[in-house]
Amino acid sequence: MNVTRKRRRKVEIPTASTGDIAFLLIVFFMATTKFDVKEGVKVQLTKAVDQAQQKASEIKLTENEMTRIDIMQNGQLSFNGATPVTLSDTDLDKKILEKIEMRDALNKRETDPTLRSTKMLFLVKTDPEANYEYMVRVVERLVTHRDRALISISTSI
Amino acid sequence: MAKIMKKEAPDVSIPTTSTGDIAFLLLLFFMVSTVFVQERVFWVQRERFPFASENIERISRNESATIYIMKKGDILIDDFPRTVEDNSIINAMQAKARDIPTLQVCFRTDRETPYQTVRDVMMRLQDADTRNVVFEVQRKL
């Protein structure tokens, strides 16, 4: 009897698409990964001084040299002890610029050449109960004028 | 008549069998080399940062220490809980500053945190002489 041998079928798993699948996975992870970027407003705090040292080196500054910005508990701002008011970012900018320009005008009239480059010092004093965001808002606006003004964040109690 | 043999065109194909292996190797490499930051106690989400529209600078992760301050006043420095009552903040910051001379201290603080808590931490930073601070913000659209 003539027995025909069964021909073995070639069985193969198709792997042509494996590369596509893997690359699609990579692209998916690349697109969905969220990197933790650190960005914010940079400031330098003043040096720590002990009270005795502070008393010895105390100098009185007038409104021509320093502007004190008080941040109230509700976010209102007071410039040099004036009545606190609610200021928008634009108004705050205007107020800061006004003080800087006043200092610049005084510098121009200054007879002593060493004092002609005096920068306006802004002292930011925040109410302990005020929200942290109120302080950041003022500091961020002051940083805009960093080249023309000095910023000091008060940490004294 | 001479028999002209037709030249058989060679079968040209780029082998793509290994593409899958290469891609999976790439995938594995990124999975193994990715370092996830695991926050242990709490986490101030970016959505809770104060807003800012300008003057936002990028800070290098390798040159920074992170201070988390929650609304209720809990403080965490680089994953470790600290308090302002003892010298733990000063010691931690001084140790960090020894390793990184150009240290930037990033405040990841809830925008509604009372300023008092932030002030107390800033005073400790002044004592530790690590005075370059960054107030992390979210961009105002």
What is the residue extent of each domain of chain B? Answer: 46-139
Tokens 């965001």 belong to residue: A133
Within 37-56 of B, beta carbons closer than 8 Å to A belong to 37, 49-56
Surface of A (65-124) touching B: CB under 8 A = 71, 89
H-run or E-run covering A120: strand A120-126
Phi, psi of A52 (to 5 degrees): -65, -45
Q: What is the mean pLDDT of residues B89-115?
A: 93
pLDDT for residue A93:
93
* Enclosing domain of residue A114: 51-153
Within its chain, how far is the Cα of B73 from the centroid?
22
CA angle B26, B29, A14 (to 5 degrees): 40
In a domain? residue A37 = no
Residue A79, domain CATH: 3.30.420.270
How far apart CA B53 and CA B61 sit, in angstroms, is: 22
- Chain A to chain B, count of Cβ pairs less than 8 Å apart? 152
A18 in a structural domain: no
Name the token pair of B29: 């490499």
Instruction: With beta carbons less than 8 A apart as the criterion, state whether B126 and A54 touch.
Output: no
**Range B46-139: architecture per CATH:** 2-Layer Sandwich (3.30)
- Tell me, yes or no, whether A98 lies in a domain: yes
B106, B116, B126: residue with CB nearest A129: B116
Q: Which residue of A has its CA nearest to B137?
A: A40
Q: Which amino acid is at A118?
A: T
Chain A residues touching B87 at Cβ < 8 A: none
Number of domains within chain A? 1
| Residue in this structure with the two tokens 């899958």, named with its chain if needed | B20
pLDDT the model gives residue B91 = 92
Is B126 in contact with A47 (Cβ distance < 8 A)? yes
* Assigned domain for A14 exists: no
pLDDT of residue A62: 82
pLDDT tens per residue, range B20-51: 888 888 888 988 888 776 655 667 888 889 99
In a domain, A16, yes or no: no
